[in-house]
Structure 1
Amino acid sequence: MKKSIQFLEEQLKLTVNREKSAVGSPLKRKFLGFCILPTKKGIKIRPHAKAKQRVKSKLKQLTKRNRGRSIQLILKEIKQLMTGWINYYGIGEMKEFMRELNGWLKRRIRQYIWKQWKNPRTKRKNLIRLGIDKAKAYEWSNTRKGIWSVSKSHILHRSLTDKELAHQGYEDISLKYQFVHSTY
C-alpha cells in the first residue's frame, strides 16, 4: 500500500485520500456506492448499505411533517430524487429494498397528508370527498391514534389508496426500478 501511494503521489503527482484508500478483497469494499455480491449464478452488484441509508434519510427530510409545502411539490421533489437515484443504482440488484422503500414512502406520504388536514372537521370533509360514508368519516376523523399510526391503518388505506396517490402525482418507485433494471 505504501509503495502504491508513493508512486501515485511522487510520479503521477496525485493526491491520495488515505481515509478512502485501502487494499482488500473487492467483496468487502465499497466502490462508487456499490458492493459486489457473489451468487450461485455469478457475481452481481447492489447499492451499498450506506447508499441505501442515505437515500432513505433524504426521503425522510423531504417528507418531514413540519415542512408546510403542498403535497404536489413534495411529490415532485421525491420524483426528482428517486429518478436520479434509480437511474444511477438501477443496474444493481435491489428489488426487495425498492419494494420495502416504496411501502415506507407511501406511508410517509399518507402521514404528511393526514397532518396537513390538521383538525377533525377538515379530515372529515376530505374523507367524505374521497368516498368514505359520513358516519365512518366522523368516526375516523376523531380518532385518538397518532399520525404515524393512522398512516398504517385502514383509515388512510381505504381513503388514500394507491390509485389516489397516483392521481396526486406519486410514481411507484418499485415499478420505476423494475423498468430501469430491465434495460440493463
Structure 2
Amino acid sequence: MKEKIRFITNPVWSLSMDERIRKLNQYLMGWIGYFALADAKKILQFTEEWIRRRLRLCLWSQWKRVRTGYRELRSLGLSHVHAIETANTRKGAWRTTKTPQIHKALGVAYWQQQGLKSLVQRYSVIRQA
C-alpha cells in the first residue's frame, strides 16, 4: 500500500493536485473497503497523517522559489513573519513539511476542502454498517 501511495504522491511526477487527490481517493477508498473488517484504526490514523505530509511535500516542491512559497503561504493565512521564515528555510522539503507553520497553513481542513477523503471517517462508516 505504501509503495502505491509513494508513487501517486511522488513530487517529481508532474500531476495536478486535483488529479493526484482523485487518484489517491480512488485507491484509498477501495483499500478501506477491502480491509474494513480488520481492527486498524490507529494504523489508519498514522497512514492518513503520513499521506497529508506527502501531499504537503508535493505542494512545497511545486513552489520552487522563495517568492512563490512566501506568496502561497500568505494566501493560506500565515502571518508575514512566519511566511518569510518558512519560505526562506534551509531545511529540505521533507523536513519543512513537518514545521508548525506548514501544518497551520496546510492542515486537515485544507485537505478536506481540496477533496481528500479521510481514511478514519470512511473506516468508521464502514465498520458501523
Structure 2: distance between partners of 1:157 and 1:142: 16
Gaps of 5+ in 1: 1-54
In the superposition, the TM-score normalised over structure 2's length comes to 0.95
Bigger relative CO (Cα 8 Å, ≥ 6 apart)? 2
Is the contact between residue 11 and residue 58 of structure 2 (CA under 8 Å) also seen in structure 1?
yes
Gaps of 5+ in 2: none
Structure 2: distance between partners of 1:95 and 1:72: 26
What secondary structure, in the 3-state scheme, does the structure 2 residue paired with 1:152 have?
coil
Amino acid at match of 2:97: S
Q: Number of residues paired by the alignment?
A: 129
Determine which of 5, 10, 14 is the counterpart of 1:68: 14
Determine which of 72, 82, 87 is the counterpart of 1:141: 87
Structure 2: distance between partners of 1:136 and 1:153: 11
What secondary structure, in the 3-state scheme, does the structure 1 residue paired with 2:39 have?
coil
Structure 2: distance between partners of 1:67 and 1:169: 20
List, as ranges, runs of 4+ consecutive aligned residues in structure 1 with deviation greater than 6 Å.
none
Structure 1: distance between partners of 2:42 and 2:86: 32
Following superposition, the deviation at residue 135 of structure 1 comes to 2.6
Match of 1:84 in 2: 30
Match of 2:119 in 1: 173
More helix by share: 2
Structure 2: distance between partners of 1:73 and 1:128: 24
